[in-house]
Amino acid sequence: MTAPANLALGRVLGVIPARLASTRLPRKVLRLLNGEPLLGWVYRAARACPALDDILIAADSDEVLALCTERGWPCILTSPNLPSGTDRLYAVSRSVPADIYVNIQGDEPLLHPEHIAAILAPFTQPGSAAAATIDVTTLKVRCTPENIANPNAVKVVTAADGRALYFSRATIPYDRDAEGNARYWKHLGLYAYRRAALERFAALKPSELEQTERLEQLRLLENGLSLYVAETPYDTIGVDTEEDLQRVEAILRDRI
């Protein structure tokens, strides 16, 4: 076993939940982008992140497992009945030990190494008394004007120290006096969990706000877990629709 890339954090494992039975864009992890499966682009992007000690794909089907085996991508088969990517992450944690588990969505091919560096930074923030108490971290990016009222772009508000106050599909904060001074932040759905926090999340039942907004991170807030949000200048495009697929394909074509 190799030494952790960041000794202060211990072993950091990147996990890519790869769900074939996606609802909005069926079989999207196997859809081709410039001749390469979407999942391959995500795995390649994760491999470029030096802060990750290892990367593992968490498949939900024999078909995804077969692709990974053919390409030589490390993969583990998890139950197709798991309700979320975080539950799939927890399933991996039961057999693969690590200190920090990074949930890398299987539909995020525009991942940057800087995303992973930013999401891990709060755990080791110099001079921060809160660093040792942080359970989970995630990311935010400045919300573009066209996304402020878009319910598919989740907004987040935080305390001054970065602690998450709330996530919503609604436009938050609400600019009551319409002065135009409100700052809006879009949430990026990458998470880094301490092992104990991941275990606690999995033991909790889905919460009321979580079920209302269809945002599983609200389960963390409703149950008092410490969730911190790091800022990044790099936006991503999660592939959920045919339009997303075409937009990402054009961006990746320019990188080839």
Question: What would the pLDDT profile of 216-228 be if each residue is shown by its tens digit?
Answer: 999 999 999 999 9
CA distance 39 to 44: 9
Model pLDDT, residue 234: 95
pLDDT reading at 194 higher than 80: yes
* Number of CB atoms found within 10 A of residue 30's CB: 16
Name the residue range of residue 61's domain.
Answer: 1-111+237-256
Q: Which residues, 6 or more positions from 165, have their beta carbon under 8 angstroms from its beta carbon?
A: 157, 158, 159, 221
Q: Which residues, 6 or more positions from 200, have their beta carbon under 8 angstroms from its beta carbon?
A: 135, 223, 225
In a domain, 75, yes or no: yes
Q: How confident is the model at residue 182 (pLDDT cuts 50, 70, 90)?
A: very high
In a domain, 180, yes or no: no
Q: Percent of the chain having pLDDT more than 70?
A: 95
Model pLDDT, residue 256: 63
pLDDT reading at 214 higher than 90: yes
Across residues 97-122, what is the average pLDDT?
A: 95
In a domain, 126, yes or no: no
In a domain, 121, yes or no: no
* Residue 144 DSSP class: P
Q: Would the CA dihedral through 152, 225, 231, 174 be positive or negative?
A: positive
Domains held by the chain: number: 1
Across residues 147-175, what is the average pLDDT?
A: 96
Q: How confident is the model at residue 22 (pLDDT cuts 50, 70, 90)?
A: confident
pLDDT reading at 1 higher than 60: no
In a domain, 147, yes or no: no
3-state secondary structure at position 69: helix
Query: Please, what is the average pLDDT of the chain?
Result: 92
pLDDT reading at 128 higher than 80: no
In a domain, 176, yes or no: no
3-state secondary structure at position 30: helix
Model pLDDT, residue 23: 77
| pTM for this predicted structure | 0.92
The span from the first CA to the last CA of the chain, in angstroms, equals 33
Model pLDDT, residue 254: 82
Q: How confident is the model at residue 5 (pLDDT cuts 50, 70, 90)?
A: low
Using the structure block, give the residue that is written with the tokens 């080839």: 256
Model pLDDT, residue 6: 64
CATH number at residue 48: 3.90.550.10
For the record, the structure tokens of 250 come out as: 């054009």
CA distance 243 to 28: 12
In a domain, 160, yes or no: no
pLDDT reading at 83 higher than 90: no
In a domain, 3, yes or no: yes
pLDDT tens per residue, range 26-79: 899 999 999 999 999 999 999 999 999 999 999 999 999 999 999 999 999 999
